[in-house]
Amino acid sequence: MESSDLMAPADKPMVDREVHTPETFNHQPKIVLDGEMSLLLDSGVTLAPLTIAYQTYGELNADNSNAILVCHALTGDQYVAGIHPVTGRPGWWDNVVGPGLPLDTDRYFVLCANVLAGCMGSLGPPETNPKTGKPFALSFPLVTIEDMVRAQALLLDHLGIDQLFCVIGGSMGGMQALEWASRYPDRVFSAVPIAAAARHTAQNIAFHEVGRQAIMSDPNWCDGDYLNQSKRPQQGLAVARMTAHITYLSDAAFHRKFGRLLQDSQEKTYGFDAEFKVESYLRHQGSTFVDRFDANSYLYITRAMDYFDLAAQHDGVLSMSFRETPVRFCVIAFTSDWLFPVSESQAVVQALNANAANVSFCEIETDKGHDSFLLNEPEFFDVLNGFLRGAAKHRGLI
């Protein structure tokens, strides 16, 4: 999951403070557009020139050793903290990134890039194809998690960062963190995959297919050409968001937030309007989502997650993904996460243990579901803060 707009009013940061303002950070949008920068995708297509939109928070130290790469989830973006320029709301990890928080911007240089095929400035379906002067739409090539990570590596090359102090992310961001640690072990000092997995399960692929079909069934999708026809498949994208959002919470979280409460009355109306509070909530999530996300990007990014299978890159043996790895790992899972259950994180830990890797594993007890890493979970904050401080001491940053 992916967005702070899912944070309920009761789920406030554990530190009482004002919302970050853009002036708090080095928070100006940055775009890399270099004619010499190209990327060969897994599909065999070469993207050039390559555009990557990203945000930075804090300052890079003298030897460029304090950089943390935050990898965002499916519908997230590079605006992890501060005020989001589109929604006007706090960034999706504003309770984790900032002065005195686990990703302390007084100590670390925090970087987050919009993923390849995203819709917040990085090269993707809604961007203009220089050959046609129109949006790429479905002419944009399919991408993979591996492609996203290679694009991020090119960004780090551009910034002169040879090794990350840490790469961290939840959900799809955790997939990217695992890919980083596997593909570029010498460029990663530590890695924190959260509520993630080394592959996408058949059930998760099925949920994504329902969302994609909702989008593609919308008459305004126009076979992906809606931008050129001044249309938007808002209904389809909203339904896709509603369906996905159900998987981000647990049954207990839904019951606690909504139960079977009616929205506006004490009596049933015997109709199909949003009569229950949970219905109204899901419709709100769907309607606000379409204001900030591109439907084709949703198709591309969900498919990238479906393709991800770290073991398949190594003859089906997950442990081969981490042979003789020097990376320090902290793998975090949540007990009520049924989208990426604890067993998926345990499989990663077992693969790391088979290589005698430096790995910590934390299974956090909570009933909030997959989205727990975005909400107020004090134990999660404590674990993350403790691991990063320990790694920083070994790195010589403290």
Residues with a known catalytic role? 171, 337, 370
**How far is residue 67's CA from residue 397's CA, in Å, rounded to a whole number?**
11
| Spatial distance between the Cα atoms of 86 and 227, rounded to a whole number of angstroms | 19
User: Can you say whether the dihedral through the CA atoms of 120, 126, 132, 138 is positive or negative?
Assistant: positive
Do 174 and 193 touch, CB atoms closer than 8 A? yes
CA 5 to chain CA mean position, Å: 14
- C-beta of residue 333 within 8 angstroms of C-beta of residue 115: no
51, 94 contact by CB (below 8 A): no
Q: Which residues of 196-223 are buried (b: 16+ CB within 10 A; e: fewer)?
A: bbbbbeeebeebbeebbebbeebebbbe
Which burial class, exposed, middle or buried, applies to 152 when counting CB atoms under 10 A from its CB (0-12, 13-18, 19+)? Answer: buried
| C-alpha–C-alpha distance, residues 393 and 182, integer Å | 23
